[in-house]
Structure formats: C-alpha cells, structure tokens
Amino acid sequence: MVSHVYSVGTQPISLAVGARYYPKRPEGGPNWGARFVATFLFPQ
C-alpha cells in the first residue's frame, strides 16, 4: 500500500492504493487484486 494526504479545499483526504498477489488460491480464483481507499479526515 502507498498512501498520501491531500487537501481538497479545506478538507484533508487520505488516498491509498495497493496491489496483492495470491500465490495460493482456490481453483478459478484470482491471481492478484487491487485496493483503492479514500478516507476523509476530520481533525479537531
């Protein structure tokens, strides 16, 4: 995973992306997967 905090106007947002390889998987299962995450931050 790689992530970074960005500001859109005054709203901070953490954006992350990552990839995963599945060496052991069920018959017909995926070889790899991807994950995208957006987290809105509300600091006090």
pLDDT at 44: 84
Per-residue pLDDT of the chain (44 residues; tens, 9 = 90+): 999 999 999 999 999 999 999 999 999 999 999 999 999 999 88
Beta carbons of 22 and 32 less than 8 angstroms apart: yes
Which has the closest alpha carbon to 18: 41, 37, 40? 37
Give the global pTM.
0.76
Question: Cα(3)–Cα(16) distance, rounded to whole angstroms?
Answer: 4
Containing domain of residue 35, as a range? 2-40
Domains identified in the chain, total number: 1
